[in-house]
Amino acid sequence: MNKTIDLTINREGLAHNIQKAKENNIIIPTIAQMQNPDLIPEKIKEKLSHTGLWDVDPVNLFRINWHNEAKESGGLYQKTPNYVEIPSSVSGVPCRILAMSGKWFPTGCHKVGASFGCLAPRLVTGQFDATYHHAVWPSTGNYCRGGAFNSKLLACDSVAILPQDMSKERFDWLKQIAGQIIATPGCESAPVVGFIAHVDTSPDMSGKDVRPRTIEEYDGGDIVLSEGIVSSPKKFPELLAHKGEDLIVTDGHTLLGADDKAGIAEIVQAMCWLRDHDEIKHGDIRMGFNPDEEIGMGAHHFNVEKFGCQWAYTIDGGDLGDLEYENFNAAAAKININGVSVHPGFAKGKMVNASMLATELAGMMPADERPETTEGYEGFYHLLGIESNTEHAKMSYIIRDHDRKKFEDRKKFIVSVVDKMNEKYGEGTVEIAVNDQYYNMKEKIDPNMHVIDIVLKAMELCGVPPKVQPIRGGTDGAQLSFKGLPCPNIFTGGVNFHGPYEFVSIQVMEKAMQTVVKICELTAGFND
């Protein structure tokens, strides 16, 4: 096997390289000079005495050896190479062990020598033509760094293929040195951050033909939405927090749709701002606008891997400063009741009225554990609806609790109620199916609290007082967090969602947009 370097001369390529070297004042050291720096001309040494290891200057090609002085700038050479000897008394072996130190190579990287050894023979033979060839440097870091630097010194175009988990410092430096960067997902200096909002609106009220209008400099009084429909601070005192601001309201016949059209608008406007302000440094950013959040199924189909973010934020919260990373654990219970229909005139001892059994079952549920009687971290059972007649009834419950154990206990309790009904009326009279919907994202956020720290800092810098509180509901961020994408929820400015009294403050929307921009900027400087 021939292990020698191919020294076949390509005359045309060599001529091009010589011309380029002349144009860029490039002198390539000989192998003898690299072995013995005493052979390096004095005029080169003079220039080196004023040149730093990191300077992009062809003269640094003469520092690709093991004899450089231990100086960041202006160093020349020493007789003894840069090594540390490990004595036998330490190593336990009867031979000399030398550990070479590559810190004092150009860029502080010993792989600058290895990459030079790959590129230089091809240049001096003309096999690599610097007028149209590109030097490609794939590596875990040092080799890529050394190769890109050598290419710059030798006036060659380079391509840096960057791996995952490269440090911010090294990434930023390579962006300045390499001619082109091919970035492996996750290699960027800044983590990839995402912002998500949902495009659907609540089915609780019509979102068709919304007729919004703006109340400029709201004076704190009643807002007449339509004849006979008034949004009043007496009923909605949260209006007063927005006195003097410009409020977008409905005409009283539809919801507004700020949940979550406001979130979409804020994300898009933030991206426009970043586009127009190059002075704001940021890494890669992803946006996701998904359907069916309101019915809880959209996030099931969200491709977290393809989204390619380390973390994200749903812009789907309420009023100014709302920050949520705790939500309910959620389940749905479907109950079927099988009655016996008999003519009421002949019903005694025969009829089993499914409608009455439904009301009996509802009465067995805790009266003080309903949505209308709970707040904060208190969980509940919520009867969504009953469809019934004598022969058959259907009941729909949702079960909610922030605490995972209490959540599991609640599911067991409603099953026990059904069991008691069957003990009384016969097995099979009542049937139940309980299905989990989503879980408390806090389980996944707690190990990643930097995600919260960043948004808290962003709010502080934007003059937004944070209000950290649990969500008494769900969010796409819950499902996404359990799919591997930590995803807390940030305010949009919307208030009174899902009804005709919904409104949003333009000024708060601007604050939400500014917070998104600041998160992008802070994430660029994040280094765990």
Active site residues: 200, 293
One DSSP character per residue, 379-390 reads -EEEEEEEEE-S
From CA 170, how far away is CA 375, in angstroms rounded? 50
Angle at 251 between CA 245 and CA 255, to 5 degrees: 90
Half-sphere exposure in the Cβ direction for 382 (13 Å, CA): 17
User: Cβ distance 191 to 166 under 8 Å?
Assistant: no
From CA 438, how far away is CA 481, in angstroms rounded? 10
**Tokens 């300045």 label which residue?**
176
Bridge partners, 135 (sequence order): 158
What is the gyration radius of the CA atoms in the chain, in angstroms?
35
DSSP 238: G
From CA 104, how far away is CA 75, in angstroms rounded? 9
**Which pair of structure tokens corresponds to residue 130?**
């610097």
Q: Smallest Cα–Cα separation from 312: which of 480, 469, 186, 518?
A: 480
One DSSP character per residue, 98-140 reads EEE--TTSGGG-THHHHHHHHHHHHHHHTSS-TTT-EEEEESS
From CA 232, how far away is CA 158, in angstroms rounded? 66
User: Cβ distance 215 to 242 under 8 Å?
Assistant: no
Q: Considering all CA atoms of the chain, what is the largest pairwise distance in Å, rounded to the nearest integer?
A: 121
Q: Smallest Cα–Cα separation from 492: which of 308, 282, 269, 221?
A: 269
From CA 102, how far away is CA 83, in angstroms rounded? 9
From CA 186, how far away is CA 307, in angstroms rounded? 12
254: left (phi over 0), alpha (psi -120 to 50) or beta: beta
